[in-house]
Structure 1
Amino acid sequence: MKAREVRALIKVKPPRIDRRAARLDACITIEDLHRLARRRLPRPVADYVDGGADEELTLADNVAAFRRWQFTPSVLTDVATIDTSTTLLGRRSALPLGLAPTGYTRMISSPGEPAVAGAAARAEVPYVLSTMASTSLEDLASHRGLKDADRWFQLYIWKDRDLTAQLVRRAATAGYRVLEIAVDTAVSGYRVRDARNGLTIPPHMTLKGLVDIGMRPGYWTKMLASPALEFANVSGGAGGEGYTIDNITKQFDPSVSWDDLARIRDSWPGAVVLKGPLGPEDTVRARDLGIDGVHLSNHGGRQLDRAVAPIDLVAPARDAAGQDFAVFVDSGVRHGADIATALALGADAAFIGRPYLWGLVAGGEAGVDKVIGLLSDQFTRTMALLGVTNIDELRKRGRTLLKQH
């Protein structure tokens, strides 16, 4: 074979000048992005993202629970056109996917919440801002390109009920469409990795942690060049000295009752969702109270260890509440096939947290785009291989397409 014939067969891909883009190109799975993120983060921060409560049994089981389901596809059906769009609480979403709330995102990566929300807006999926965010409700709402984004707000109920009411009013005024009320934080879970690393906010590191940060100057330089970190929605608390990881969760009210939820429901102009590990009885009680949906979650394994995996609550919640009630699920979603499993069991959408944080660390806003793109491609391909062409069909036929092992 002549040299020119060999050259015609072997196409050498030119190197990417943009190193960040090259790194993202090399990531073809969510786990690839996870590994890249851990290399770029100081260990205490990486452990803050990846860690769970106590023995981390729930943390591991959340992922394993999705993998206990197997597909039984239909064949010889026309899947030339796949429509992944759906409606979530009255608004179209390009995917049955949402980006769940995560606290203190700018500590993890300096672009923070606006970068995550920007990627969600481009993908036409909802993003939930946390009470514990490092970007305020108002700042996110006014950020370029996010005015018409599908913005939701996750509310923690505080002992200071005036502050709670103020947060609800601020979210409504700033145009947040859905209010998610977290109901799994009566007390904070005990996160062993954070305790061992001495992680607090603002950072109060062990000597080992400081050495690890020093080995990653790129991370530290970006943090120093960024605005001061704070819990932006509730800054100036704790007697004017500011909140820390150690004391802020002590401000959450462990005496919250269903009556409190009813009062918040009455004060919010839009849809209300309860977020936590809700079983069928609590799901029905929420529906009867006028709540619009449940977001089944065990906080990614960060609260009650040995809690049931939320994916295993989906079918009971759907059967108990009926079809005209929103059911969302997070904790353990790592692949587009997990989204398909969630919908086949009766969910309206699946939400992710850690995966988009890994993407944010790996490549900023483009990294979050990458995560959503990977999940979208995987989900679309899974639908085609299952023999379904749209979300309604997947949900209608879902349980015939699954078996548990």
Structure 2
Amino acid sequence: MPLAGRRHYSGRNLSRAVTIADLQGMAHRNLPAFVREYLEGGAENEQTLRRNRDAFSNIEFRPSTLTGVGAPDLSTTLFGTPMRLPLVIAPTGFNALLRFEGDRLLAQAAAKAGVVFTQSTVSNERFEALAAVPDLTHWMQLYVFRSQAFMDELVARAQAAGCQALMVTTDAATFGNREWDRRNYRSGMNPTIRNKLDILFHPRWALSVMARGIPAFGNLLDFLPPDQQSFARTAIWSREQIEPHLHWSHIQHLRRIWKGLLIVKGILSAPDAQRAADAGADGIVVSNHGGRQLDGAPSPMAVLPDIADRLKGQLVILADSGILRGTDIVKTLAMGADAVMTGRATLYGLAAGGEAGVARALAILEEETRRTMALLGCRSVADLNRDHLRTVRP
């Protein structure tokens, strides 16, 4: 049982945040209820959301001692490019709800930390604007829309902006049933009266976000008439325009028109991973969309070994969903991933303290990963494998 009186830090001093859970508490203090729910919620009964975390608890380490490990090397190579850390910031949308210019703050922190930033199609910034962030390794995430002309235009813009990779999300052709999120709105994007009143108890958020006006989704504006470019209208339009008949032929088409790295996100089986390779993908993301789409889907950790056994070396394998600790990162890498992606961890930092909060989140994950590898007796990311793990029954 937890010791009486224990609680995570939730003040405003970022230097006192020693875990991602501390940043989560700080974020919750800053955000009104309906924004917290958007950040935290999952689909339906949230079984998959819980399973993503439980999966890590069901895996034990098998440490080696007296290995003379010293300071472990966290560097790796991703798509032939040296990386300081085996970490990618995952694509997340509506980030301006958490902090004014949230996407830019995430990108700037990523560039300074030397990690990849993946920008969502439904970012509140245009691809071209974030491409100008100095030293940024910039990937683009794509939702496939009904209009192929519009989709092709988005891809061409990202190509011209210098995005190195195109990450196609495949598990959101039907929008997930996020029931608790939906309860916060009377209709469309209009919060309930209770949630509007709750904003009064979060004046810092209101002055940062609401007072300046939540920007619309910059990458979609060119396709909408001027009188329909509000945040709420664009959000509704984007959901309506997602291609419901998404198929492998769409991946093949994107492979023909996209000249950079192509990554398929939303893979949860080895057969689909093989299909991605056959369609010309350079990499995949083993992902259940953070538990926000199909409730009852498996954790990536449950399917990652099979995928790695069949595809390791043919594709770069990334994995996300539920990663909040350095121990989670090490377990995911040892299970066969080449690198991990995290969304909520850096969003907690963003909501807690802007760019400095994102930097703190990345520093915590790096520190925890390095310590875990040292205690495991492992010198480098390349040395991690399943011999370092043991799966236990829940």
Q: For the superposition of Structure 1 and Structure 2, which TM-score range results when normalised by the shorter chain?
A: over 0.9
Checking the alignment, whether the CA contact within 8 Å between 1:127 and 1:152 is kept in structure 2 is yes
Deviation at 1:22, TM superposition (A): 5.9
The answer to whether structure 1 residue 303 and structure 2 residue 303 are counterparts is no
Structure 1 counterpart SS, 2:244: coil
Q: Which residue of 1 aligns with 2:221?
A: 235
- Distance of aligned partners of 1:94 and 1:270 in 2 relative to their CA distance in 1, 3 Å threshold: same
Taking the aligned partners of 1:194 and 1:340, their CA distance within structure 2 comes to 32
1:63 counterpart SS class: helix
Please identify, of 246-255 and 59-68, the stretch whose mean Cα deviation from structure 2 is larger: 246-255
CA contact (8 A) 1:83 1:389 kept: yes
Please say if 1:44 is aligned against 2:65.
Answer: no
Look up the match of 2:99.
109
| Equivalent position of 2:192 in the other structure | 206
2:120 is the counterpart of 1:93: no
Is 1:280 aligned with 2:267?
A: no
In 1, distance between residues paired with 2:196 and 2:211? 18
In 2, the alpha carbon distance for the partners of 1:302 and 1:323 equals 30
Select the residue among 379, 384, 396 that pairs with 2:374: 384
Deviation at residue 21 of structure 1 after TM alignment: 9.9
Q: Is the 8 A contact 2:312 2:336 kept in 1?
A: no
Shift of 1:27: 1.2
1-structure distance, mates of 2:252, 2:91: 22
Asked if the contact 1:111/1:364 (under 8 Å) is kept, the reply is no
Aligned to 2:250: 260
CA contact (8 A) 2:125 2:217 kept: yes
Structure-1 residue corresponding to 2:3: none
In the TM superposition, what are the counterparts of 1:356-375 in structure 2 within 5 Å?
356-375=346-365
Q: What is the one-letter code of the residue matched to 1:80? A: G
Distance, in Å, in 1 between the alignment partners of 2:186 and 2:180 is: 9
Measured against aligned partners, the alpha-carbon deviations of 1:335-370 in whole angstroms (never above 9, x if no partner) come to 001110011011011111111111011111010010
- Equivalent pair of 2:220/2:234 in contact (CA under 8 Å): no
Q: Give CA deviations for 1:279-321 in whole Å, capped at 9, x if unaligned.
A: 1001011112221111111111111111111122211111111
Residues 2-401 of structure 1 correspond to what in structure 2 (within 5 A)?
23-142=13-132, 146-198=133-185, 203-226=189-212, 228-235=214-221, 237=223, 241-242=228-229, 243-394=233-384, 398-401=385-388
Deviation per CA, 1:195-227, whole angstroms, max 9, x where unpaired? 1100777x4111001011111111111114535
**Letter of the aligned partner of 1:170 in structure 2?**
R
- Alpha-carbon contact 2:268-2:288 (below 8 Å) kept: no
In structure 2, relative to structure 1, the CA distance for the partners of 1:318 and 1:199 (3 Å cut) is farther
Larger radius of gyration: 1
- By how many angstroms is 1:82 displaced? 1.5
Q: Against the structure 1 CA distance between its residues 402 and 199, is the aligned structure 2 distance closer, same or farther, given a 3 Å change threshold?
A: farther
Q: Which structure 1 residue ranges, 4+ long, deviate > 6 Å from structure 2?
A: none
Q: Secondary structure at the match of 2:43?
A: coil
CA distance, structure 1, for counterparts of residue 352 and residue 134 of structure 2: 26
Determine the C-alpha separation between the residues in 2 that align with 1:246 and 1:176. Answer: 27
2: CA distance between counterparts of 1:217 and 1:378?
A: 34
User: Is the contact made by 1:24 and 1:370 (CA closer than 8 Å) also made in structure 2?
Assistant: yes
Deviation (angstroms), 1:258: 1.1
User: Offset of 1:237 from its aligned partner?
Assistant: 4.7
In 2 relative to 1, CA 338–260 (structure 1 residues): closer, same or farther, beyond 3 Å? same
CA distance in 1, matches of 2:317, 2:276: 12
Give the SS at the match of 1:342: helix
- Indicate the RMSD between aligned Cα atoms, in angstroms: 1.7
**Structure 1, unpaired ranges of 5+:** 1-19
Query: Matched residue pairs, number?
Result: 379
Q: Percent identity?
A: 37
Question: Do the aligned partners of 1:24 and 1:367 also contact (CA within 8 Å) in 2?
Answer: yes
Contact 1:344–1:402 (Cα < 8 Å) also in 2: yes
Change (3 A) 1:150 1:200: farther
1:14 alignment partner in structure 2: none
Q: The residue matched to 1:92 in structure 2 has which SS? A: strand
Q: TM-score, normalised by structure 1?
A: 0.90
For 1:200 and 1:151, locate their aligned partners in 2 and report how far apart those are by CA, in whole Å.
Answer: 35
The alpha-carbon deviation at position 107 of structure 1 amounts to 1.2
Deviations 1:81-115 (A, max 9, x none): 32100111122211111100000101111131111
